[in-house]
Amino acid sequence: MKGEFLVDDLVRPNIRTLTPYRCARDDYNTGILLDANENAYGPAALPPPPPGSNNSSGEAASADGCARYHRYPDPLNLDVKAMYTAWRGLPGPEWAFFGVGSDEAIDIIMRVFGVPGRYKILICPPTYGMYSVSAATNDLGVVKVPLDVTAGRFQLRVDEILAATANDDDIRMMFLCSPGNPTGVRLDPRDVRRILESDYRGLVIIDEAYIDFVEAAASASADDSATEDAKGSLAQWTMRYPNLIVMQTLSKSFGLAAIRLGVALASPRTIHWLNVIKAPYNIPAPTIALAKQALSPEGIERMRGVVQQLLTERKRLTETLRTLPGVLRVMGHTDANFVLCVIRGRGTNMPDSLRAARIYQWMADEGVVVRYRGHEPGCEGCLRITVGTSAETDATIAKLAEALANPSL
Ligand SMILES: Cc1ncc(COP(=O)(O)O)c(C=O)c1O
């Protein structure tokens, strides 16, 4: 970012001037709390607690662990945010926003910064589908600068991106997915840095949903930056670039997709604006209770152990797929928890999307569900296969081999 940057200048005028909703809990959260029209009798529909397990506050409790579920949750969760930012090497909780999954963060970012019917986002296909869906919901245009897909590189075409933004001042946000979905490839941080240090004055949003699956060795060789963390996350770059937002999630490496907790990391002023428009109590208390466990030192240690297991399985899946004659190649197997398996056309040395689509359908009917991605640029003939358990890998390989041997597919 060249020159002075004030994120407030990018905020939609109606949001800059709105008076945010004040929660009852913003003012007081202890004492006799009869200010929020909650049910003072406790979680009425849940089974009663075992004898002697009422909580120490003396409030009605219906079951262990649910004692306070009749209360609205903490609107900001600064304690859990502090755990998260400490883990990612950021100064404090004011650098984090929590959303109902990163999907909510994507939508809120667009609502804060995108004037409907006028502004645009820039994306680099093949990429995660929700950027376009959220843009359409918010009536924002979508400018596409496809990735360089040569030989499965799946990297940014920085010159084309900067030409697009230089020619169109209405491009206010750029959503870059790293590691990419469905590419499975981490973007070269040097390319991201070129964008951040260019004349572009909009926001750069890096979606790092899969960042914990990057192998340390791969990330160290890809970049010379001292502030990139050991796993290659650019989270700490938010301290250097005020127009950068890094999104992460507990849905992938932490194995907690059901609790719906996504994180946006950015400078405190940007986070302030995301908080201004979020629903007052957007993150449920059970989610926060589970996130606290997940982000404890023991939780992070457990997560790392499982990720390690998963990476071993990813290697086995990749190597076994490569032995199947109907598989032309395997791509994107280095940085995420899935791989792209390219299906070969019968009797050719070319990818075959029609055959991949037929195989996808047949396998799904047989009970093994992978994802067809053959319609995406650079993904001709591709099935995206999530790394499963060992038994799931074996079953998937067996089913795929059966499909490839089936003359009608
Ligand atoms: C790149 C990417 N970002 C975000 C998400 C959604 O994450 P969450 O579960 O936190 O909404 C996904 C889900 O598959 C994804 O692939």
Q: If you ran DSSP here, which 8-state letter would residue 351 be given? A: B
Say yes or no to pLDDT of 217 above 80: no
Say yes or no to pLDDT of 7 above 60: yes
Ligand 1 in reach of 248 Cβ (< 6 A): no
Average pLDDT over residues 117-133: 98
Could you tell me the strand order of the sheet in which 338-343 lies?
Answer: 327-331, 338-343, 382-386, 371-372
Ligand 1 in reach of 104 Cβ (< 6 A): no
Contact 341, 330 (CB under 8 A): yes
Q: What is the spatial distance between Cα 40 and Cα 12, in angstroms, rounded to a whole number?
A: 40
Ligand 1 in reach of 133 Cβ (< 6 A): no
Q: Token digits for 281?
A: 């109590």
CA of 108 to the centre of ligand 1 (A): 15
Highest mean pLDDT among 25-39, 57-71, 197-211: 197-211
Return the CATH architecture of domain 300-405: Alpha-Beta Complex (3.90)
What is the number of the ligand 1 atom nearest to the C-alpha of 103? Answer: 11
Return the pLDDT at 65.
Answer: 66
Return the pLDDT at 59.
Answer: 44
Q: CB-based contacts of 65: which residues, under 8 Å, 6+ apart?
A: 289
| Minimal-distance CA residue to ligand 1 atom 11 | 101
Ligand 1 pocket test: pick from 130, 261, 263 the residue with the most ligand atoms within 8 Å of its Cβ. 130
Q: What is the spatial distance between Cα 397 and Cα 277, in angstroms, rounded to a whole number?
A: 46
CA of 179 to the centre of ligand 1 (A): 11
Return the pLDDT at 221.
Answer: 40
Please confirm whether the linkage preceding 49 is cis (ω < 30° from 0).
no
- Could you tell me how many residues make up the chain? 409
Ligand 1 in reach of 220 Cβ (< 6 A): no
Return the pLDDT at 341.
Answer: 97
- Out of 3.40.50.970, 3.40.640.10, 1.10.1060.10, 1.20.120.1200, select the CATH number for domain 7-36+72-295: 3.40.640.10
48 — pLDDT class (breaks 50, 70, 90):
confident
Of 20-24, 186-190, 387-391, 398-402, which gets the smallest average pLDDT?
Answer: 20-24
CA of 26 to the centre of ligand 1 (A): 30
Return the pLDDT at 47.
Answer: 84
| Element (DSSP H or E) covering residue 343 | strand 338-343
Say yes or no to pLDDT of 190 above 70: yes
Q: If you ran DSSP here, which 8-state letter would residue 49 be given? A: P
Note the pLDDT tens digit of each residue in 322-376. Answer: 999 999 999 988 899 999 999 999 999 999 999 999 999 999 999 999 999 999 9
Average pLDDT over residues 105-125: 98
CB 37: neighbour CB atoms within 10 A? 8
Q: φ, ψ for residue 213 (rounded to 5)? A: -95, 0
ipTM above 0.95, yes or no: yes
Give one DSSP letter per residue of 203-218, joined into a string: EEEEE-TTGGGS-HHH
Note the pLDDT tens digit of each residue in 254-273. Answer: 999 999 999 999 999 999 99
What is the number of the ligand 1 atom nearest to the C-alpha of 100? Answer: 11
Q: Is 226 exposed, middle or buried (0-12, 13-18, 19+ CB in 10 A)?
A: exposed
Average pLDDT over residues 138-160: 96
Say yes or no to pLDDT of 226 above 50: no
Of 58-67, 71-80, 371-380, which gets the smallest average pLDDT?
Answer: 58-67
Contact 313, 151 (CB under 8 A): no
CA of 24 to the centre of ligand 1 (A): 32
Return the pLDDT at 4.
Answer: 81
Contact 103, 264 (CB under 8 A): no
Q: What is the spatial distance between Cα 150 and Cα 405, in angstroms, rounded to a whole number?
A: 29
| Minimal-distance CA residue to ligand 1 atom 12 | 209
CA of 54 to the centre of ligand 1 (A): 38
Q: If you ran DSSP here, which 8-state letter would residue 183 be given? A: T
Q: Token digits for 137?
A: 């919901």
CA of 323 to the centre of ligand 1 (A): 31
Ligand 1 in reach of 126 Cβ (< 6 A): no
CA of 338 to the centre of ligand 1 (A): 13
Where along the chain do its domains lie?
7-36+72-295, 300-405
Ligand 1 in reach of 337 Cβ (< 6 A): no
Say yes or no to pLDDT of 60 above 70: no
Average pLDDT of the residues of the chain:
92
Say yes or no to pLDDT of 220 above 50: no
